[in-house]
Chains A and B, each alone.
Chain A
Amino acid sequence: MDAFFNALNNFFLIGLPYIALFVFLIGSVWRYTSTRFKYSSLSSQFLEGRQLFWGSVPFHMGILFLFFGHLTAFLIPRGVLLWNNHPARLIVLEVTAFIFGIAVLAGLANLIYRRLTNPRVAVVTSRMDYAILSLLLLQVVTGLWVAYSFRWGSSWFASVLTPYLWSVFALQPDITAVSALPWVVKLHIVGAYLTVLLIPFSRLVHFLVVPLDYIWRPYQQVVWYWQRKEVRRSGTPWSLKRPLNN
């Protein structure tokens, strides 16, 4: 039985991260070069907007906070430990993350409900969309579970998980401490690896091509190079001047 659990730990904590990273890197490049125009998320805002707001906004705002929170603990664990050195600061960090986590769960539940119940949205939903939504739901539920039951995650992440993740990147994986963590933490880790693995094949690729320049680009200038009034006259034949945006 011990050998079985050791094998599971070795596969999920050593093998899977390398498989996920390899597939993510190769798959992302391959998909970008082969199907560039599909390298994004198919928007459904045109089909339904009201429910989408209560799903997409809390989900994306929360996931951004949590993603960068995890990334900070991975990149500068010492800084997180220093921040957490005062109990008040530790509480502020943990409660804020927990609030965003609950908001993410609420948003995700809305998005799943919308996909399942709105017929217009259901038509443009692929199986991979359902797979990704299920995986994200697993991640959010286990994340909240860990945050609630095994306090305080921000500190022990920086002390225990960060060295493990660095050991993976240094190609010298050390799972001694991670193996001893509760199974729900390990499930959260495995869910993260699976998410990374599926990025190239799902709508998650949109985070690699976020149109950030939209924020600071100038307004679009539409330049018409034909006589608009002339074109719109019913007597003008299409063959003479076909409008390019119709």
Chain B
Amino acid sequence: MKSARKARRQSGQLALVWRRMRRNRLAIIGMAIILAILLISFSAPYIAPYDPLKQNFRKLLQPVSAEHWFGCDQVGRDIFSRVLYGSAITLRIGVLAIIIGLTCGTCLGMLGGYYGGLVDVGVVYLTDILLAFPGLLLALAVIAVLGSGITSVTLACSFSSIPQFIRVTRGMVLSEKEKDYVTAARSIGENNNAIMFRYILPNCIPALIVLLTLRVAIIILIASGLSFLGFGAQPPSPEWGAMLSEGRMYLQTAPHVAIFPGVAISILVLAFNLLGDGLRDALDPRMKI
């Protein structure tokens, strides 16, 4: 009972955001879509009607039918099953990349903003350099070093998010560290690490959640773009970007092969954008993220 009350008090700001966001219908739709796709990604092996890798040469490029809802691809694989399985790949890249980007970016931004001086100069310089590369280009530079593959794509995507997290965290820390509660914490003898991560960080969390949601949308676009270019998941993997790339060849005769994976990417990205916009409006509509 007591711990529950404590937990509620700690999440006071988040609870307020949630109450405001609940009234935003679009944000709730976005969240519902994300949850649904998450559920699909876990249950794909049970709900997919066909094996995503099984080829069937009697069904090459078969159009949409009751038997195959999204039709079949160039080697007769069921596209609907492949799209279902592909959600797990895309979500895994998105989640891993955002966790790495969030951790590195937040720590660097925290250090720069809190300690100031030369540390801050270094952090700001690093951010400036990383921001000199448009997202996809930075990701490609990482790919050029690491080579192709899902791991490289994940790292490349996380890299392209680091500067945004540094910037937001650093800005928040700069204004937070002047506040009275930080002085109070210091006067009771808390050390720097505790002040940074137990006092200041919780106050940055709402802004970071908004940035995180909007960045996942961009990461999914970059990751599927990299796979489309041939750097990410390799065939026969049912990654959406890779499927789209394969489907390009059959655009004239069987456009459905390329259309459905693209729709899947758009829906997932749209959901994250809706949720992110809703969160931002619930938090502070004037927030510049």
State whether these chains interact: no
Which residue numbers of B lie inside 8 Å of A, CB to CB?
A: none
